[in-house]
Amino acid sequence: MIHRYKFRLLFLLFVIYILSFVDRQIVAVLASQIRLDLGLSNLQIGLLYGTAFSFIYALAGIPMGRIADQWSRKGMIAIGLFIWSLVTVLSGFAGSFTFLVICRMLLGLSQAMLSPAAYALLAESFSPDKRARVFSVYASGIFIGVGLSFLVGGSVSVLYDWRISMMTVGMPGLILAPFVWFLIRDVRKSEDTKKHPAVRETIGQLSYMLKKRTVLLHLTGFSALACTGYTILAFFSTVMTDLFQRPDLVPHFGWFLFGVGGMVILSGTVADKLAKKDPARRFWMGIFAALGGIPFYIAGLYSDDGFSALIFMGLGVLISSSYNGVAAALIQYFVKPTMRSLAGGLYLFVISVAGFGLGPPVTGWLMDNYFSGIYAISNSLITVIIVCGLIATISFTAAMRFYDEDAVQEIRKRR
């Protein structure tokens, strides 16, 4: 029964994570329609998709992680799911940029309640040697959700409009939320829920994590990869619409994002196999993601037609976004059991600031103010992609050197 419950838990968290990314991504899918309807600039779209969401999401991640370590994790997840689903539905009634910004901020606050609690539940339910695979299954929900936002949200917007699309994708979460409370149970031992002076203890635990060079390099590298990923997701529909005049191809990007879900699971499986010889080799999957997609992005962004661009950029996403499960699992090896949710909150804080908060608005600014001509969007995107790929590769290479001295949960076998 315990064994079956663990996999039911993984499946339920996977479904909830899918819904979170459908609602998170839908603004980018509908970007062209929203921009025309409300008279927005590319910079405003970048701010709306990225900064308005990520600023609150990032700030809330650490305190939400702390609360999840002390309170009901299932309560955090159920409440968060209900709030962000309701906010997505309400976004369909927006009449101004300001209203959408407020909705995105509420979305960020409520979605910050999910992953810190989910990471802790999964880390405590599965053994360390399975952690990268399990976290990768959970993380694959990112791309199933993003894919559904393109396929379902994009298709509904073509048939009706962006407002109906917003309402449509928000409804499933409202239906599921009441059941979550009864389907999830905490598996913490009683000593793991002991109360501590909240602020002082949290600062001490963050200091413990951030003193480790491997953790700092992990956060630097994976935040750079997040910057690439969220920038592509933010502006893919703009590439298809403005550069190639093929808005009809935008929903089909969702099929590649479904494929990324499989690549995330594969990456986690390979990482766990590599770790049998050397745990630090899990970082190899980050290097693969950092460099492997660049040639495909170059080919896609400078293609002669929209269909070729779709294929090449889709292949690039398959590789460059494959790191997500490995990234979330890796940080758990450097923290104590009582810090699991907080470590997840720290990870989400950093990648949100860099990924959502910096990538899309910087790219939008480059498009509006620095590059010009027909390939302004291509030049802007490839600049961000290459810089982030190099930062990630350097960070992961250095992180492997310090793995031995920083790991808590497993000791590397020396040859």
More confidently predicted of 144 and 345 = 144
CA distance 319 to 290: 8
Q: Cβ distance 305 to 265 under 8 Å?
A: no
Lowest mean pLDDT, pick from 22-36, 41-55, 110-124, 187-201: 187-201
Please identify, in words, the CATH class of the domain defined by 2-177+198-406: mainly alpha
Domain range annotation of the chain: 2-177+198-406
- Using the Cα atoms of residue 90, residue 174, residue 262 and residue 279 in order, give the sign of their dihedral: positive
Question: In sequence order, what are the residues at sequence separation of 6 or more whose Cβ sits closer than 8 angstroms to the Cβ of residue 371?
Answer: 377, 379, 380
Amino acid at 153: G
Averaged pLDDT for residues 170-196: 73
Per residue in 319-341, is it b (16+ CB within 10 Å) or e — as a string? bbbbbbbbbbbbbbbbbebbbbb
- Taking only the tens place, the pLDDT of each residue in 159-181 is 888 899 999 999 999 999 988 88
Amino acid at 358: L
* Mean pLDDT of all residues belonging to the chain: 84
Name the band, by pLDDT with cuts 50, 70 and 90, for residue 188: low
User: For the residues of 149-168, what is the DSSP string, one character each?
Assistant: IIIIIHHHHHHS-HHHHHHH
CA distance 248 to 41: 22
- 259: nearest Cα among 295, 310, 294, 218: 310
pTM value surpassing 0.85: no
> In the prediction, which pLDDT does 32 show?
78
More confidently predicted of 128 and 284 = 284
> In the prediction, which pLDDT does 193 show?
47
> In the prediction, which pLDDT does 411 show?
45
Averaged pLDDT for residues 1-22: 85
- 89: nearest Cα among 31, 14, 17, 170: 170
> In the prediction, which pLDDT does 409 show?
54
- Taking only the tens place, the pLDDT of each residue in 225-245 is 999 988 898 788 888 888 888
Helix pair angle (97-111, 2-29), 10° resolution = 160
Averaged pLDDT for residues 68-79: 82
> In the prediction, which pLDDT does 204 show?
81
Helix pair angle (52-70, 97-111), 10° resolution = 20
- Taking only the tens place, the pLDDT of each residue in 270-329 is 988 888 888 889 999 999 999 999 999 999 999 989 999 999 999 999 999 888 788 888
> In the prediction, which pLDDT does 86 show?
95
CA distance 415 to 413: 6
Lowest mean pLDDT, pick from 46-55, 313-322, 380-389, 403-412: 403-412
The proportion of the chain whose per-residue pLDDT surpasses 90, expressed as a percent, equals 31
Token pair 């994976």 is found at 222
Q: Cβ distance 377 to 32 under 8 Å?
A: no
CB atoms within 10 A of CB 305: 9
- Taking only the tens place, the pLDDT of each residue in 329-363 is 888 888 877 777 778 778 877 887 777 678 888 88
CA distance 253 to 310: 7
Name the band, by pLDDT with cuts 50, 70 and 90, for residue 415: very low
- 45: nearest Cα among 232, 226, 234: 234
